[in-house]
Amino acid sequence: MRIIPSIFFDYLFRYLEMNSGHLNHTQSKSSPPYYDGREGGCTTIPPFLALSPLLVFLFLYLATSIILKDFYKVPITVAFMVSSIYAVFTLKGSINHRVKVFSMGAGDSNLMLMLWIFILAGAFASSAKSMGAVDATVNLTLRLLPSSFLLPGIFVAACFISLSIGTSVGTIAALTPIAFGIANESELSVPFVVAIIVGGAYFGDNLSFISDTTIVATQTQGCKMNDKFKANISIVLPVALIMMLLYYYMGKDVSLPTSIPEVSALKVLPYLVVIVTAVLGLNVMLVLIIGMVLTGTIGMLDGSYNLFGWFQAMADGIIGMSELIIVTLLAGGMLAIIRYNGGIDAIINALTKHIKGKRGAEFSIAALVCLVNICTANNTVAIITSGPIAKDISLKFGVNKMKSASILDTMSCFTQGLLPYSAQMLIAAGLAYVNPITILTHLYYPMAIGIAIILSILFRYPKKYS
């Protein structure tokens, strides 16, 4: 994900300071709000209890849904509510203190920034749909792409845009409504087509020079971005090429509508502007605001709606995002409690105890960032947290710093891509009106890059960096 620099580096400073000393959390002006000066970490409660809120969520939502073979039986909001309530009771201290820890995590500045993106994305998507922008863009895509190249074309578009703008969230927000329309017009599965967008978005999140994950991975490991890029792309580019061939094979029998309506160029303009401004590097919130205003202006000029109709369309879009906003707040609070109770410290300590040799060191780095990512639901924060420990492991066991940076970045994208409660998954599901789990089963690219990293560790490639 890409975050406004001032907010990002402020959070980086606070987070690194929080993790610089696990035994003595002394209160200061720069301390994170969910650490109020009390002794925390692994000495407070047993590690299993610290991590148990996450286990409660996984059992209540994933395990129950799998057993019942119905991912709509247990609403994800209820699963997070129950696990959040349980998390509050794992804390020591007064009820006011417990609620404060939870609330400070839910109100984190980075999380609030993400909620702004959700709101603006919902407003833009709904107003664009109401004025016909989605239909026009879908029809243009269907006219330009042969049916056999439809799926690989969507994947390449997501890869290119994410690589250009450095943000998976921005790519998903821009392309998911189009993918939703294409799926409906071509009678393809909506979760499947949306998963192609989400997978392609992680290609750029992993490799882009302006991606936060790339910046943090290279900074924590002390290597240059271009060196990390060379090591990383040699691992994931073959995966991307295999995905293109796979999507070509899967889409060669796709039947497109025989009668495609004429395309209104003016109605396509909002999405073109959103994509171009995103590629030029504008902040994702500003991109969405520009798209929203342009959509409303065109819609009122061509009579699709009046001023109040535009307002209602935006309101409908915002309301449509309410579930994922609630989930994000509950997840932020719950994960803050896990962090406060020492759950992340427990994971780090367990993984760094019995390392032997380069392979073991690289596997420990991979497992470390994955587990921290599960607990934070943020791949950038996961790298910030685990990066310094990964560097220590690399120095001790002689792991190439470009390889360790590539493992951190790629495995964080792998994990983030497969979390049903990640921001990327929630925004994709919200814009496509589907359950996040239905997208999860089609996320071939994130799964494949995880396998690629494991193979690169086992078989010591690329040789130059192993």
DSSP letter at 256? P
User: Measured in whole angstroms, how far is the alpha carbon of residue 276 from the centre of its chain?
Assistant: 22
pLDDT at 453 over 90: yes
Q: Tell me the pLDDT tens digit for each residue of 248-281.
A: 999 887 766 666 667 788 888 888 888 788 767 6
Cβ neighbours of residue 328 closer than 8 Å, sequence gap 6 or more: 111, 114, 115, 118, 423, 426
Q: What is the DSSP string of 6-26?
A: HHHHHHHHHHHHHHS-SS---
How far, in Å, CA of 278 to CA of 134, rounded?
A: 18
Q: Which amino acid is at 432?
A: A
Residue 390 pLDDT: 87
Cβ neighbours of residue 177 closer than 8 Å, sequence gap 6 or more: 125, 128, 129, 134, 431
Q: Tell me the pLDDT tens digit for each residue of 87-123.
A: 999 998 899 999 999 999 898 887 788 788 878 888 9
Residue 31 pLDDT: 33
pLDDT at 405 over 70: yes
How far, in Å, CA of 239 to CA of 78, rounded?
A: 37
Q: Tell me the pLDDT tens digit for each residue of 153-177.
A: 889 888 888 887 777 888 898 889 8
In this prediction, residue 37 has a pLDDT band, given cuts at 50, 70 and 90, of: very low
Residue 146, number of CB atoms within 10 A of its CB: 12
